[in-house]
Structure 1
Amino acid sequence: MKHIKSLGLIVLLFLTFPLSAHTNPTEADKLSDKKIVSVEATVLINRLEEIKAMDKSNMSSIEKKALRKEVRSIKQSLKEVGGGVYLSVGAIIIIVLLLILLL
């Protein structure tokens, strides 16, 4: 029984060990990490890009304040659209193994 537990622990460690932790992410990897969930999210991201590209030097303080509020609300709605719980394969295997052992 001890050997089975030890073997299970070793297998678990190998499954949860991040193999890509030592690689440097490229630009393509960084762009692929940004997953767009819906059309609504793309519209919001496009609006953020428009605001970043604006020339704010000739705007009044009231207009700048309104833009800041808009950016905050857009970021908040993007968090709501993209929110969720993500489980890795290793985490799922650990959960299943724990359920098997405990039940």
Structure 2
Amino acid sequence: MKKTILNISLVAAMVLAGSQQVFAKEKASKEKTEFTEAEIQRFAEIEARIMEINAMDFSEMSRDEKKELRNEVKELNKESKTMRGSGLYISTGALIIILILLIILL
């Protein structure tokens, strides 16, 4: 009983404390990024190298060779992500809902 009352009071406090009116800035519509020929060519090279690594037979390789290939794949993936410029963004509302669900469930 105490736990449910505590959870309800915490949720109420969060709702009351976080109810500030915020206006979003007007921003330009998200434009589709266009890649140059050099970037497209580099993406193709990265993809070809990753496909080549995936096609290799790892059973005959030593531990160090496997580790080198793993590091190479990680570096190629990092490079392609930085070239794309993609990311994950969580809105404030979604973050509050996640926190509330965690409090209720735990």
Q: Does the TM-score normalized on the shorter chain lie above 0.5?
A: no
TM range (shorter): 0.3 to 0.5
Between structures 1 and 2, the one with greater helix share: 1
